[in-house]
Every structure is written in C-alpha cells, then in structure tokens.
Amino acid sequence: MKQQNKALRAVLGALTVICVIALIVFLILRGREEKRYAQAFYGMSTLIDQKAYGSKAEQAMQEAERQLLAFEARLSLYDAQSDVAAINATAGKQAVAVQPETLALLQQAKALALQSDNAFSLTLAPLSLAWGITSETPQILTQAEIDALLPLSDDTALILDETASTAQLQQEGQAIDLGGIAKGTACNVVRDVYKQYGVKSALLSIGGNIYVHGKKPDGSRYRIGFRDPQQFTQASIASVALEDTVFAVSGGYERYFEQDGVRYHHILDPRTGRPAQSDIVSVGVIHPDGTVADFYSTTLFVWGKERALEYFQQGGCGMLLDDNQNLYVSGHLKDSFELVESGYEVHFIEE
Ligand code: AMP
Ligand code: MG
C-alpha cells in the first residue's frame, strides 16, 4: 500500500512538472507571438512604416523592405535601369523585354485605365515631367506646351505582348508613369511577404496608404484613421476598423507647389493636361487588391464628387471629404465608422 502511494506521488509529481514546463513554454511562445516589432525606412519618395507581431515579424519586415526597394527599382520612372525607363527610352521604336511581374501589372493597369473614362492615364509622364510638380523645379506650362504634350497621353498605344513578355509605346516621345498605382501595388508585394513568413498581424503605411494584415493579437480589428489635410495636423477626423485590405488615399494636398496664390498639385486631369480641378479634398478607397484601391483613389479624385459617389453607390468601399466639410462614407463601413473630430457632416452612402 505504502509502495503504491509512493508510486502515485511520483507520477503526480512528474505530471505537475510536465504541466508547469508546458505552461512556461506556452507563455513564452505566446509572448513571442504578441511581441510587436516596428521599423521604418525611406522609399518610393515617402516614409514606409511597418509594425508586425510574432516570432517571424522582424525577418518578414526585412524581406518586405528588400522587396519594396527592388519593386521601386523595377518600376521607377526616375531609375534608368527600371523596366519603365526601358519602355520609355524605346518609345516609338521597338518593343523591350520586361519582367513578367511588370508585364502583368501593366496589363492590369491598362485595363483599369481604359475603364476610367480618361481620368486615369498611364502615359501622362511627358506632361507630369514638364510640370515637374514633385520636382525641385516645378513650372507652370503654357496652353501651347500642354497642347503639344497632351496627345502623348494615350494608353491604347501601350502594346503588351504576354508571350514574349515585351512592352512598347507606339508613339515617339510617349512615356509611362505608374505613380498612380505604385503605392497600392507595393502593399500587395508586402502582403505576400507577410503571408510567406506566416505573419498573422501587421500594419504597413506607405506615405499614408495603409495595408492592414489580419487582426490585432487580442482579436480585435485595427482602426485606421482618415485625416483632414486642411487641418494641418496628423490627427484623424474619423476612423474605421479594417482587416486584410488596403486603404489608398489621394488628395491634392499631398504634393503641390504654390505660385501667385495658386496651388498646383500632382494629380493631373488627362483631359486638360492641368492639375485636376476637383471638389474632393481627400478620398480613400478600400479594396483587398492594393492596385485597384490605388487606381480608384486617383480616379475618383479626378472624376470629382458626383461620379465618385456613384462608384460608392455601386458597391465601391471607402470615404470622401469634399470642400465643404461633408464626409461621405460607404454603407459597408457603418458598423465600425467613428467620427473623431466635430465639425464634419457625415453622410452614409447606401447602395
Ligand atoms: P495618387 O497619390 O495615388 O493619387 O497618385 C498620384 C501620382 O500618380 C502622381 O504623383 C503621378 O505620378 C501620377 N498621376 C497624376 N495624375 C494621374 C492621372 N490622372 N492618372 C494616372 N496617374 C496620375
Ligand atoms: Mg492612386
């Protein structure tokens, strides 16, 4: 009997030790999953900021940085080695070989641009370079200069050959610029890295364009802010809870120069060749494909409020601030939308 009790005590003791060890291991692993890492760097002419949780977060963020810089080098208008520079240098002459990823993106971007009713153009580079709005030496173009460059904005002249993986601009002097979709597409690149590394929770910001990966470690959704650029603060006027999606924001306030009291911003209207005259101050589009989100944020800005609201009525998701303190919000977002600042009139858009 005594011997049996002794054996039982030994078994119980061993079990207790095993349970305590298992608990410690569990707590350590959970601690690693909940540990938050952050890093920031400069790329794509803006600040890129990542926050990620989990044991693979640091490695994943490093790889994301590497891939983002490679993405920029492949697509930058300003990098002589890029696929985009090669296409531009041979415009009107011959087709050039491009990376398959570049070709796929150009195909998607061209199809989207051709649906935009000439609000979004991939071939605005001759005009945008002449305006130089984001450069050190911006200038106001004369109507004659605009008239000379405007015919070069023609996306139907971008010929893509999938089998040969080549691209060609048909007219000499034409040039493409992917600035209107680059940041959103970059979000897709980072999303794939996070997935590959098994990161479950992360937030990426590329100059205010946000990618939300998963939920917070406590199971709640990330809240993303929408700011009023006219308030000269970084504070949000409203926020929404999002998950696994991209929030792309466009506005004339982002990049501009001023002369004689007139503001010239970086979003051009391909119909006039001038900065788009929009009654939208800022528009945010939410879509799981960052390319689509970014395409629409630029396009809706050029379209203006009336047509932009139609996009939201037809199922598009996002929000829009007009030049009269009206904030229009997709019905989809009603459950999680919160107005943070007073002084704005909120209108939910029903489909
Ligand atoms: P976003 O900040 O996404 O609205 O993109 C603005 C950038 O897209 C500009 O800095 C230009 O590089 C490019 N861009 C400007 N106007 C247009 C347009 N109408 N269509 C396509 N890209 C544009
Ligand atoms: Mg855009």
In order, the DSSP letters of 30-41 are HHHHH-EEEEEE
pLDDT for 93? 98
More confident residue, 128 or 11: 128
| Per-residue confidence band for 34, with pLDDT thresholds at 50, 70 and 90 | confident
pLDDT digits (tens, 9 = 90+) for 39-54: 999 999 999 999 999 9
Mean pLDDT of the chain: 93
Cβ neighbours of 320 (radius 10 Å): 27
More confident residue, 231 or 259: 259
pLDDT of 10 over the 80 cut: no
pLDDT for 263? 85
Cβ neighbours of 233 (radius 10 Å): 11
**Residue 268 near ligand 1, beta carbon < 6 Å:** yes
Q: What is the mean pLDDT of residues 265-271?
A: 95
Decide: residue 102, CB within 10 A, 0-12 exposed, 13-18 middle, 19+ buried: buried
pLDDT digits (tens, 9 = 90+) for 231-256: 666 789 999 999 999 999 998 777 87
Fill in the amino acid letter for 351.
Answer: E
Q: What is the mean pLDDT of residues 314-326?
A: 96
| Per-residue confidence band for 31, with pLDDT thresholds at 50, 70 and 90 | low
pLDDT of 138 over the 70 cut: yes
Cβ atoms 202, 53 nearer than 8 A:
yes
Cβ neighbours of 266 (radius 10 Å): 22
pLDDT of 329 over the 70 cut: yes
Cβ atoms 347, 327 nearer than 8 A:
yes
| Per-residue confidence band for 229, with pLDDT thresholds at 50, 70 and 90 | confident
| Per-residue confidence band for 20, with pLDDT thresholds at 50, 70 and 90 | low
**Residue 303 near ligand 1, beta carbon < 6 Å:** no
For atom 5 of ligand 1, the residue with the nearest CA is 180
Report CA(114)–ligand 1 centroid distance (Å). Answer: 15
Which ligand 1 atom sits nearest the alpha carbon of residue 270? 19
pLDDT for 233? 66
pLDDT of 228 over the 80 cut: no
Give the pair of three-digit tokens for residue 145. Answer: 């200069």
Cβ neighbours of 205 (radius 10 Å): 19
**Residue 116 near ligand 1, beta carbon < 6 Å:** no
| Per-residue confidence band for 3, with pLDDT thresholds at 50, 70 and 90 | low
Least confident of 29-33, 190-194, 274-278, 295-299: 29-33
pLDDT for 167? 98
Cβ neighbours of 223 (radius 10 Å): 15
Please tell me whether residue 119 adopts helix, strand or coil conformation: coil
pLDDT of 1 over the 60 cut: no
pLDDT for 74? 98
**Residue 82 near ligand 1, beta carbon < 6 Å:** no
| Per-residue confidence band for 101, with pLDDT thresholds at 50, 70 and 90 | very high
Cβ atoms 141, 273 nearer than 8 A:
yes
**Residue 65 near ligand 1, beta carbon < 6 Å:** no
CA distance 259 to 227: 25
- Looking at the whole model, is its pTM more than 0.75? yes
Report CA(51)–ligand 2 centroid distance (Å). Answer: 23
